[in-house]
A = this chain, B = another copy of it.
Amino acid sequence: MTVAVIPPRSGVAFPLRTGEVLRVIDPEGGQVSDMLAFMAADVGEALSNGRTFDYEETIRLTAGNRLWSNRSQPMLEIVEDRAGTHDFLLTPCSEATFRHFYPDKPVHRGCFGNLAEALAPFGIGPDAIPVAFNIFMNVPVDGDGKLRVIAPATRAGDFIRLRALADLVVGLTACSAYDSCGGAFKPIHYAIERQAPGVES
């Protein structure tokens, strides 16, 4: 298994084929990785938090849950989850969110800008970027619906594994925002496991 590094505050995009397993690792602990997925055959079909909440009947996705597209097709299944806490409510950080939440800090293009650049060669424009599956992100929601973004609870080496249920284009970042990472900018590691699907779960 070859592990690739996403440097702090950057992002990548790559194909992930049916049956392959994407492992996303938090090498130091306390970091977030925004993940997007699009159908390789037609990038107009993309990850949808709303369809996923509909079919999985929960906003807390973990091992055994699937992530669904806007056209009601399952795209990825979480086959192993050593972290346990992820977010699927919030959009990728962007220049606008930096201006809003960190008015005294330098503006950064954020995960949104990093994803837009990485996905452009696949014909995916910025307006096609939906809510991301924010791996390791810690967003508690209280009984009144109020939410907070706090530091991830991950320890060094925690990971999640997701099996592709279709041929996909995946976007993946090492998050750029202060709050979601507890103020520290760290790398993210990932690997694509290409063994036969039956071996993987």
Contact = CB atoms under 8 A, between A and B. Distances in A.
B50 A72 contact: no
14 contacts: A45-B127, A48-B91, A48-B131, A49-B50, A49-B89, A50-B130, A50-B131, A53-B90, A59-B145, A60-B146, A70-B91, A70-B129, A72-B96, A72-B100
Interface of A: 44-45, 48-51, 53-55, 57-60, 70-72, 89-91, 94, 96-97, 100, 127, 129-131, 141, 143-148
A130 B145 CA distance: 21
Identical copies of this chain, number: 2
Contacts of A143: 143
A42 B50 CA distance: 23
A165 to B, nearest CB: 15
